[in-house]
Amino acid sequence: MNYDKKIEAIAGYIESGEKSVDDFKVGFEVEHFVINADTMETLTYGEEGGVRDSLEEIEKMGYEASYEDDNIMGLTADNFAISIEPAAQFEVALDAKKTIDQLHTAYIEVMGKLIPVFDKKNQLLAQVGYQPKTKIEQLPFIPKERYKYMSQYFKDFGGSSPYNMMKGSGSLQVAIDYKDEEDFKKKFFVANAVSTFLYSIFDNAYIFEGEVYPKHNLRQTIWDNCDKKRSGIYDFAFDSDLSYKKYAEKILATDSIFIHKDGKDIYTANTPFEEIFDDEEMNLDTINHALSIVFPDVRVKKYIEVRMPDNVPYPYNFAAVALIKNMFYDKEVLDFLYDLFADMTYEKSQKLKDKAVMQGVDTVYKDKKISEWMLLVTEMIKEDREYIDPLEELLKKDQTPRDIYEALYKENPKDAIYQYSVNKFVKEN
């Protein structure tokens, strides 16, 4: 298959995600750390009472399990899916819904079923952006072949913090739809332009490798130093000729790490996807893999993934989902942001990121602080006010979820992690 055909295949896959406005939905997935409530240490996959045991117990509730060899790796239900990240972070992905209320109802239902499995073992699903106590060197990879390959690849070709990404981080991600290529282009531009703002207002990493982290936006720093070829902001994000094909060109030029063939994963290291894809390999599964094995701030599949926020506790997690939904589905808000960032370039975005590492929500962009700009945005939003209001109050105080956690932690670390857990949310709902 020649180069142009490969580009067309990937671009066509992205184009196939187009939806009518009436069919727009919002997707929500979140990564948790499974924590011993007394010691604050992270549970590993294989230890007694660990994450594998919990997955097997959840499977008995009637969910469909996926396995690698004899190891349970995930579960699927009618309304959600569970997967585990490299150091057994417990990820829950809710099926996309049209409204935040529908997502909220599903979240209460799903978590209400899952949390008793952890409660009876005195374990918490912690909602922070980085491991709350345990260092990543103490955490083994789960027995999944692809993580062995990713580890090898990052050792040979990655930046300074890929293992912090794989083992240490926990995020909240929101998926949004687009109606056509022009809509895609506008939303992709805005999503990348607002990257530093979302990292900053949902900063929730107070502890890094067992010590207090003295700067801001740890998640941003980890991703920017993971692998320059596949993470951070793509340098074409603000180009006037942005298109499905331009995104596809980036994918073809990206190292493949591994591919799935003949029922197993095969290590391909730094071989770019352009060389991997031939007539036999260029199918929907391999295209989806190529689009999934990149980790930019804003990732594209058949929807746009906004990947900047740390995992934050309720009500700020649903404030994040509601904010992102309205930023991209409310035309007035989207147009406001598009105009605000009209002169954004890749170089300017990197300088803004660097400033925010030191100054957080107090970082000035043009004539206002990040917190002030985002307060303007929240005040423009008319729908989903019950979810937006808690974030608005936080922005008025120039605070982030990390600030609240820090105050709680200084009083009582164990209580802080309980306050920042799904267990607390379920108990109160």
How far is residue 360's CA from residue 372's CA, in Å, rounded to a whole number? 12
pLDDT computed for residue 290 by the predictor: 96
Residue 429, C-beta contacts closer than 8 angstroms, at least 6 positions apart: 108, 112
32 pLDDT more than 70: yes
pLDDT computed for residue 278 by the predictor: 80
pLDDT computed for residue 280 by the predictor: 61
343 pLDDT more than 80: yes
Q: Where do we find the tokens 């105050």? A: 407
| Cβ proximity of 250 and 259 under 8 Å | no
pLDDT computed for residue 274 by the predictor: 94
Residue 324, C-beta contacts closer than 8 angstroms, at least 6 positions apart: 26, 174, 176, 198, 306
pLDDT band at 263 (very low <50, low <70, confident <90, very high): confident
Look over the chain and give the mean of its residue pLDDT values, rounded to a whole number.
97
CA angle 255-222-417, nearest 5°? 135
For the chain, what is the largest distance between any 2 Cα atoms, rounded to a whole number of angstroms?
A: 62
Using a cut of 0.85, tell me whether the model's pTM lies above it. yes
C-alpha count within 13 angstroms, C-beta hemisphere, residue 95: 10
Q: What pLDDT digit, counting tens, does each position of 125-159 carry? A: 999 999 999 999 999 999 999 999 999 999 999 99
pLDDT computed for residue 212 by the predictor: 98
How far is residue 80's CA from residue 213's CA, in Å, rounded to a whole number? 33
289 pLDDT more than 80: yes
pLDDT computed for residue 279 by the predictor: 60
Question: Cβ of 91: how many Cβ atoms within 10 Å?
Answer: 18
C-alpha count within 13 angstroms, C-beta hemisphere, residue 194: 28
Give me the sign of the Cα torsion angle 218, 222, 228, 230: negative
- Between the CA of residue 166 and those of 143, 184, 198, 217, 359, what are the distances in Å? 14, 29, 21, 17, 26
| Cβ proximity of 143 and 68 under 8 Å | yes
Share of the chain above pLDDT 90, in %: 96
Q: What pLDDT digit, counting tens, does each position of 72-97 carry? A: 999 999 999 999 999 999 999 999 99
Beta strands in 12-79 (DSSP E): 26-36, 64-68, 71-76
